[in-house]
């Protein structure tokens, strides 16, 4: 009996030894801090319904049971990945008057039949407004010099019409230059305006999560400064700075003061509350503006987090995510 107990304990010990390394995180102790403005383009897994319209006094999509937010993945049992595919399949089967649509809703695959309505020019109407990609701007947070893994934004990309996180097939980040800034006012967040250089791709996106977008960086890292990764216990209230671009491609440092720190394991995105103390930044932007999401937060020459949200009623204040929360999500 004693032998059996010892044997069982030995097996549990072996199991523990095998499990522990799996949970170990492999990100580097030092990261290249971003700060540069990036153009972002992501492609969805399928074609998302973002609106419905009336055709001949009826709503064909509603009659078929389709809703805004549904992701169309097949037409007549043939896979589609973008709007071009969808249009081609509809044109191929339009003479039949109806098409079979396979769609995903709440992670469940469903099927329905959608009636087509030709107009006077024999263009067939579906009653659907659809989208297969989203583009915009944000700020690069970090690049791991060992793996070239990058993270940006510090929050998810949402499709505005549906309010849902976009499940992505792939995407890219590319060079971008800030042309102007619309300042924030109380209750109205401002925004950066920018030009894109689609020819200068600096990375591929593989994840869109609540803690940021992540992928593989392909740009040049020569001469870029590396910052030590701070864990949450090393973050303190008081002075810090953010790195961001307000004009062209020039990354500048701006002073902030950290007011509150939430180290709760349940809080994954709004870990830091800060206020801008840099008068130059306040004069130019009125506070945090859209497009600053992802701007690295630096304290004591360590990278501690990234800007994520503005306090809408007081844009001089904002929220930040711990850098370790971004790194852990990037490695999942």
CATH of the domain at 65: 2.30.42.10
User: Does 179 lie in the same domain as 83?
Assistant: no
Strand pairing class (117-118; 128-143): unpaired
Known catalytic residue at 278: yes
Q: How many domains does the chain have?
A: 2
Select from 83, 105, 126 the last residue of a domain.
126
Q: Are residues 205 and 266 in the same domain?
A: yes
Same domain flag for 173 and 112: no
91 close to 106: Cβ distance less than 8 angstroms: no
Instruction: Give the tens place of pLDDT for each residue, 55-107.
Output: 988 999 999 999 999 999 999 999 999 999 999 999 999 889 999 999 999 88
Instruction: Give the model confidence (pLDDT) of 7-54 as tens digits.
Output: 333 343 333 333 334 344 567 899 999 999 999 999 998 899 999 999
Of the residues 44, 70, 144, 155, which is catalytic?
155
**Catalytic annotation, pick one of 135, 148, 170, 278:** 278
CATH number of domain containing 181:
2.40.10.120
Domain final position from 107, 126, 145: 126
Cα radius of gyration rounded to whole Å, the chain: 24
Residues 63, 193, single domain; the answer is no
Residues 143, 217 contacting (CB under 8 angstroms): yes
Q: Does any domain span residue 15?
A: no
Is residue 85 annotated as part of the catalytic site, yes or no? no
Average pLDDT over residues 217-237: 94
Examine the domain organization and report whether 39 and 59 are in the same domain: no
Residue 215 class from Cβ within 10 Å (0-12 exposed, 13-18 middle, 19+ buried)? buried
Catalytic residue among 44, 293, 295, 302: 293
- The per-residue pLDDT for 11 is 41
Alpha carbon 269 to its chain centroid, in Å, reads: 12
- Same domain (yes/no): 178, 202: yes
* Residue-wise pLDDT tens digits, 262-293: 998 788 889 999 999 999 999 999 999 999 99
Give the residue with greater pLDDT, 128 vs 7: 128
186 versus 6: the higher-pLDDT residue is 186
Q: Is 233 a catalytic residue?
A: no
Q: Report which of 94, 91, 44 is spatially closest to residue 71, judged by C-alpha positions.
A: 44
Q: What is the pLDDT of residue 26?
A: 61
Is 20 within a domain?
A: no
Question: Are 240 and 298 spatial neighbours (Cβ–Cβ below 8 Å)?
Answer: yes
If you write DSSP's letter for every residue of 260-286 in order, what string do you get?
Answer: EE---TT-SS--EEEEE--HHHHHHHS
Residue 153 lies in a domain: yes
Dist. CA 149–CA 63, nearest whole Å:
45
Single out the residue in 105, 126, 147 at which a domain terminates: 126
Domain hosting residue 97, numbered range: 54-126
């Amino acid at each position: 009996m004693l032998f059996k107990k010892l044997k069982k304990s030995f097996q549990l010990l072996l199991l523990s030894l095998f499990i522990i390394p799996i949970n170990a995180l492999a990100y580097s102790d030092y990261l290249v801090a971003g700060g540069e403005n990036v153009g972002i383009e992501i492609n969805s897994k399928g074609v998302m319904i973002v609106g419905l319209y009336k055709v001949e006094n009826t709503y064909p999509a509603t009659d078929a049971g389709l809703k805004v937010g549904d992701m169309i993945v097949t037409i007549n049992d043939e896979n589609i990945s973008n709007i071009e595919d969808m249009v081609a399949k509809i044109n191929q089967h339009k003479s039949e008057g109806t098409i079979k649509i396979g769609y995903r809703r709440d992670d469940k695959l469903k099927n329905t039949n959608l009636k087509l309505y030709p107009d006077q020019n024999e263009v067939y109407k579906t009653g659907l407004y659809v989208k297969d990609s989203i583009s915009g701007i944000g700020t690069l947070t970090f690049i791991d010099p060992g793996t070239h893994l990058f993270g940006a934004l510090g929050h998810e990309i949402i499709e505005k019409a549906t309010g849902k996180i976009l499940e992505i097939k792939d995407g890219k980040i590319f060079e971008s230059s800030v042309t102007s800034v619309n300042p924030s006012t109380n209750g109205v967040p401002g925004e950066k305006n920018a030009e894109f250089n689609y020819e200068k791709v600096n990375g591929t996106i593989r994840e869109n999560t609540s803690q940021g977008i992540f992928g593989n960086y392909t740009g040049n890292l020569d001469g870029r400064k590396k910052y030590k990764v701070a864990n949450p216990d090393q973050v303190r209230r008081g002075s810090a700075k953010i790195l961001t671009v307000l004009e062209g491609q020039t990354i500048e440092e701006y002073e902030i003061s950290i007011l509150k720190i939430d180290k709760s394991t349940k809080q994954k995105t709004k870990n830091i509350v800060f206020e801008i103390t840099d008068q130059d930044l306040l004069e130019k932007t009125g506070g945090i503006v859209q497009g600053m999401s992802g701007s690295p937060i630096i304290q004591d020459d360590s990278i501690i987090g990234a800007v994520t949200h503005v306090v809408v009623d007081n844009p001089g204040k904002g929220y930040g995510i711990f850098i370790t929360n971004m790194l852990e999500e990037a490695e999942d």
